Amino acid sequence: MTRLDESLLAHIPPFSLLEHSQIREILDHATVRRYAEGVPVFCEGDPAERFFMVLDGYIRVLRITPCGEQVIALHIPSGQLFGIAKAIGRDAYPATAVTASEAIILSWPTQIWDYFVVNYPGFATETYKVVGERMGELNMRVVELATQQVEQRVANTLLRLVNQTGRKVEGGIEVDFSITRQDLSEMTATTLHTISRLLSAWEKQGLVKSRRKHIVVSDPQRLVALGQHHA
């Protein structure tokens, strides 16, 4: 790929405190790769030999339960690090990362993680901030699973997606990557039948528009009310 310009990283929090010469050093150590949608970047249990950043696109983080069922844990937008096992003291990746869209991804050898932490101001603090935010989101989802009805969980999941990745389109806010009803069922611990029933009902009520692999939230305020009902 074409040599990347320093300005691409200058606004991204782990690198925003750095001089352009430092960003150039970081880019010179990076491997750049373009991925198609639906391609694994690494798999759960693999040795954590590299860490990554989404330059453009989205990443879907998956876990496999002891029963072999797939659960979607998180979505990671462009401009964020992922595969940062070193930051949580792991030698292997704790989850699988798959592209949720076409993506351009930077990666670096894990051996230079400590060098980044020591030599690049803001890298460590911003990285651990991201880890904290992701742990907070996972904890929130655990609480939702334990305390909320299915309708609430699905409403709150859609709201989270449009808040994190939404783009304005005619008729509402669209989740900015392909998402299926099966994906939603895996994110909310419910059945595909229930997701289909809910989305069909909400579409008739004008809350959402659902078509193949695309969801538009047409009435966020009403969806907020559904997510809070009986919470």
User: How confident is the model at residue 81, as a pLDDT?
Assistant: 94
CA dist 77 and 42 (Å) reads: 17
Count of CB atoms situated within 10 Å of the CB of 102: 15
- φ, ψ for residue 217, nearest 5 deg: -90, 115
Question: Considering only 12-16, 40-44, 65-69, 227-231, which range has the smallest mean pLDDT?
Answer: 227-231
C-beta of residue 104 within 8 angstroms of C-beta of residue 57? yes
Phi, psi of 63 (to 5 degrees): -120, 150
Residues whose CB falls within 8 Å of the CB of residue 143, separated by 6 or more in sequence, listed in order: none
Residue type at position 188? T
Q: What percent of the chain has pLDDT over 70?
A: 98
Residues β-bridged to residue 215? 210
**Tens of pLDDT along 138-155?**
888 888 888 889 999 999
What's the angle, vertex CA 209, arms to CA 204 and CA 214, rounded to 5? 150
Which SS3 state, helix, strand or coil, does residue 78 take? coil
pLDDT category, 231, cuts 50, 70, 90?
very low
pLDDT score recorded for residue 146: 82
Residue 230, pLDDT score: 52
Q: For the whole model, what pTM was predicted?
A: 0.85
Question: What angle, rounded to 10 degrees, do the helices at 220-228 and 150-165 form?
Answer: 140
pLDDT of residue 137: 86
What is the pLDDT at residue 6? Answer: 87
Tell me the domains of the chain and their CATH numbers.
7-144 (2.60.120.10), 149-228 (1.10.10.10)
